[in-house]
Amino acid sequence: MDLTWLHLCALVVLGAVAGGVGSLTGIGGGLIITPILTLVFGVPIHQAIGTSLCCVIATSSGAAASYVEHRLSDIRLGMTLELTTTLGAVTGSLVAATLSREALAILFAVFLSYAGSTMARRSFKAEAAEPSLLAPYKVKRLPLGLCGSGGAGMLSGMLGVGGGIIKVPLMYLAMGVPFKVATATSNLMIGVTAAASAFIYYSRGDVWPLITAPTAVGVYLGAALGAQLMRRTPSRWLMVLFSCIMFYFAVVMIWKSFHGGFAR
Amino acid sequence: MNDLTEDKARSAIAAILRYGSLISTLVMALGLILVLLRGPVSFGPGGHLVSFRTLFPRVTHLDPATIAEFGLLLLLVTPIFRIIVAGIAFGLEREYKYVLISLGVLAVVCGSIGLAMR
């Protein structure tokens, strides 16, 4: 199949939506790109995941720049956790190659459901009163954090997601890090995590440049626009909508797995 | 780390991330526009560029698909440069524990590139 202007625009739009949602909610980049590439564009799931990983780097790098400058990211904590997160990512990417398309699709669907329910729950919970961001905090339970980050890295390498959906609660709930610092640090870490596995996907031929490049360009634009357009957190109904869409994708992917939809 | 040096380090890290993603996106966009202008090119796997011997001749001959792929690679190495800059910043501030940690992370990522190039 040839690359046409139509394909290009469609992929850029896909990327922009993913970038926008990802930068606004902290969840979504990879979780939107892979299902749509597989279900709508017919890209095999391993290659869709390869594309998604590269796009995750685009979202992370763009947003992380501001977070770092505004002193929100904990660079030291992020670097420390990246030790295990990168090891997990490399492992995950190697494991993914051994899995069949159906198995990977089902795993992805399970993760999608988890992400969808997290988003739904988050939309109904009022944001807890945040102590001053400049108040010093002490990082607790680092060993647990390292293990959890390893797991998040593995998921990232296997499913092409950022892993923020695990890293943020890990840092915020278990390690005593303020919520916004956790989000900012997670954003910073995601780029390195994805890079650790992206090269392996790339060398396997699982990154198709003519699909990945337009999507990544779209992600960059969407993330930049998203940050400009909406200064406040998205409305709760928008988040409920996104979580419904995620559940829908999860169901379709499971259904397709069992009905030979991913057969070569 | 005193505040002034911390701010400079943060600015350097932010700059790498910001310009890395911007430049790679521009190169990708350029490659894609050239691909479309020069006529149809079919989708297919990348992965040719892991060998640098083939990369530079194809880029300098302005092969559009390769330019897009090169932009993609620039995107992928941006986080690596971020680690290096952070590591240097830690070193300048004599936070050697974090220099070691940065080297560790760099080792894992370079290891993955090594695996990829096999």
**Cα B39 versus chain centre, distance:** 28
In the structure, how many helices (H) and strands (E) does chain B have?
4, 0
- B112 and A199 within 8 Å at the Cβ level: the answer is yes
Does residue B61 or residue A193 have the better pLDDT? A193
**Given a cut of 90, is residue A163 above it in pLDDT?**
no
Determine which of B25, B70, B81, B101 to mutate to test the interface with A (most A C-beta atoms within 10 Å): B25
**Given a cut of 60, is residue A126 above it in pLDDT?**
no
Counting residues of chain A whose pLDDT is more than 70, the rounded percentage is: 88
**Given a cut of 50, is residue B52 above it in pLDDT?**
no
Average pLDDT over residues A188-200: 92
What tens digit of pLDDT does each residue of A201-236 get?
988 888 888 899 999 999 999 888 876 665 555 567
Give how far A128 is from chain B: nearest CA, Å.
Answer: 28
Average pLDDT over residues A183-194: 90
What tens digit of pLDDT does each residue of B7-33 get?
888 999 999 999 999 999 999 999 988
Average pLDDT over residues B22-46: 81
What local confidence, expressed as pLDDT, does residue B78 receive? 94
pTM, to two decimals: 0.87
**Given a cut of 50, is residue B49 above it in pLDDT?**
no
What tens digit of pLDDT does each residue of B72-118 get?
999 999 999 999 999 999 999 899 999 999 999 999 999 998 888 77
Average pLDDT over residues A29-51: 89
What tens digit of pLDDT does each residue of A137-150 get?
888 889 999 999 99
**What are the structural domain ranges in chain A?**
11-120+137-258
Sorting pLDDT into bands at 50, 70 and 90, what band is A125? low
Which residues of chain A neighbour B104 with C-beta distances below 8 Å?
83
Q: B30 vs A54, A189, B33, B70, B90, CA distance in Å?
A: 18, 28, 5, 11, 36
**Given a cut of 70, is residue A26 above it in pLDDT?**
no
Which residues of chain B neighbour A65 with C-beta distances below 8 Å?
14-15, 17-18, 21
What local confidence, expressed as pLDDT, does residue A192 receive? 94
**Given a cut of 80, is residue A243 above it in pLDDT?**
yes
* Tokens 């894992």 belong to residue: B108
What local confidence, expressed as pLDDT, does residue B61 receive? 66
Spell out the SS3 assignment of chain A.
CECCHHHHHHHHHHHHHHHHHHHHHCCCHHHHHHHHHHHCCCCCHHHHHHHHHHHHHHHHHHHHHHHHHCCCCCHHHHHHHHHHHHHHHHHHHHHHHHCCHHHHHHHHHHHHHHHHHHHHHHHHCCCCCCCCCCCCCCCCCHHHHHHHHHHHHHHHHHHCCCCHHHHHHHHHHHCCCCHHHHHHHHHHHHHHHHHHHHHHHHHCCCCCHHHHHHHHHHHHHHHHHHHHHCCCCCCHHHHHHHHHHHHHHHHHHHHHHHCCCCCC
Indicate the average pLDDT of chain A: 84
Q: Are A65 and B18 in contact (CB under 8 A)?
A: yes
Residue among B31, B77, B105 minimizing CB distance to A86:
B105
DSSP string, B2-47: -HHHHHHHHHHHHHHHHHHHHHHHHHHHHHHHHHHHH---B-----
- B86 and A75 within 8 Å at the Cβ level: the answer is yes
Determine which of A75, A93, A186, A187 to mutate to test the interface with B (most B C-beta atoms within 10 Å): A75
**Given a cut of 90, is residue B60 above it in pLDDT?**
no
What tens digit of pLDDT does each residue of A62-84 get?
778 888 888 888 999 999 999 99
Predicted complex ipTM: 0.86
Indicate the average pLDDT of chain B: 83
**In the structure encoding, which two tokens stand for residue B78, read together?**
């941006």
Burial level of B75, CB count in 10 A (0-12/13-18/19+)? Answer: buried
Average pLDDT over residues A106-114: 89
Residue A2, helix vs strand vs coil: strand
Counting residues of chain B whose pLDDT is more than 90, the rounded percentage is: 51
Average pLDDT over residues A159-171: 86
Sorting pLDDT into bands at 50, 70 and 90, what band is B46? low
d(CA A101, CA A253): 11
What local confidence, expressed as pLDDT, does residue A195 receive? 93
Counting residues of chain A whose pLDDT is more than 90, the rounded percentage is: 33
Quote the DSSP letter at residue A37: H
What local confidence, expressed as pLDDT, does residue A215 receive? 95
Residue A113, helix vs strand vs coil: helix
